[in-house]
Amino acid sequence: MTPACVEDFRRLAARRLPRFLFDYIDGGSYAEATMRRNVADFERLELRQRVLRDVSRIDLGTQILGRHAALPLALAPIGLAGLYARRGEVQAARAAEAAGVPFILSASACCGIEEVASNVGAPLIFQLYMIKDRGFMEAMLDRARAAGVETLVMTVDLIIHSPRYRDMRSSLTGDQGIGARLKRAFEILRHPDWAWDVGVRGRPHVLGNFAAAMPDGAGLAQFTAWVSRNFDPSISWDDLAWIKDRWKGRLVLKGILDPEDARHAVDVGADGIVVSNHGGRQLDGAPSTIAALPAVVDAVQGRLEVLMDGGVRSGIDILRALALGAQGVLIGRAWAFALGARGGAGVTRMLDMLRQELLVAMALTGHSNIAAVGRDALILGDRP
């Protein structure tokens, strides 16, 4: 199948990846209501079609996270991407660089920050969690600086893991006895292309950024145990001062849904926020990010950069997010599906598809540049 949209990449990834990996990408927490809402609430936003406007020259360029971007998007931090394709984070970072968009490396990536940075020319953006082991945090910040990172994205909505039923059913989490191991082994045998490309040629299968903290191994089981010991539910806004004392680059907070929290982000001196519900993987029952976006934008009044993620599946969705005040979007599952389906070439193809879709949406709503897109691009009525 030749993929024509993000959903096509999703179907291809479902065929190529072992079930436990596909479900890890595709699933959300509990009943997945918020995850579904992320997509559905985009779909119900109607665009205002405009005609007889000169759209012969459309400029999609903008500024995202301190650098020029050819499109108003960045690749969101995705954990374990090195298990979707061989050295997956490197492949995705190269695709993003070629497309002229930022790449955000997850702290829980398979490829360490040094490996990814040595394979691209553009400065990396690095995502990190607030954890109890502050010595490790300081060391990680030092590694980020040494690798040329200019912007740090702190994920603030993962202080505790929310249950994900699909991961339990696929044996990725939960009981890890002989039955679970045999179930995963069977899935690997059923996907020989993946087993050769990633299972054999994609080694080492470790979480490179955390390897130093886990001398007995940095695989998924060790990482899960380490996370349960070190993710810190006691963190508060005061802890961000500790980060700002040690990080002099740009600081972005990812996981903001509430206007009051957005105002707090302004008060602590953050340079930007990402309106995010973790892709529906944390608090099931929370609002969709596109529904939460307008109130957050109104609360910060332009005092910091506002990005959003969650549910973005097309260039039309990107336009909808811009219309409601986002300066750009992060895409997560979209590039994970593309990587899992076709490697770095898939990510390149997916980004080009989004570019073409956004161009068409801009033209048919009468817009020639990103800065001109506002709420009048939508038919809102009584809707958010």
Task: Give the residue numbers annotated as catalytic, written as ranges.
Answer: 278
Which tokens hold the place of 318?
């990107």
Is there a contact between 239 and 130 (Cβ–Cβ < 8 Å)?
yes
Max distance between CA atoms of the chain, in angstroms, equals 66
* Residues found in the chain: 384
Half-sphere exposure in the Cβ direction for 357 (13 Å, CA): 19
Task: Give the residue from 86, 78, 84 showing the smallest Cα distance to 109.
Answer: 78
352 φ, ψ (degrees, to nearest 5): -65, -35
Burial (CB < 10 A; 0-12, 13-18, 19+), residue 133, is middle
Is there a contact between 18 and 188 (Cβ–Cβ < 8 Å)?
yes
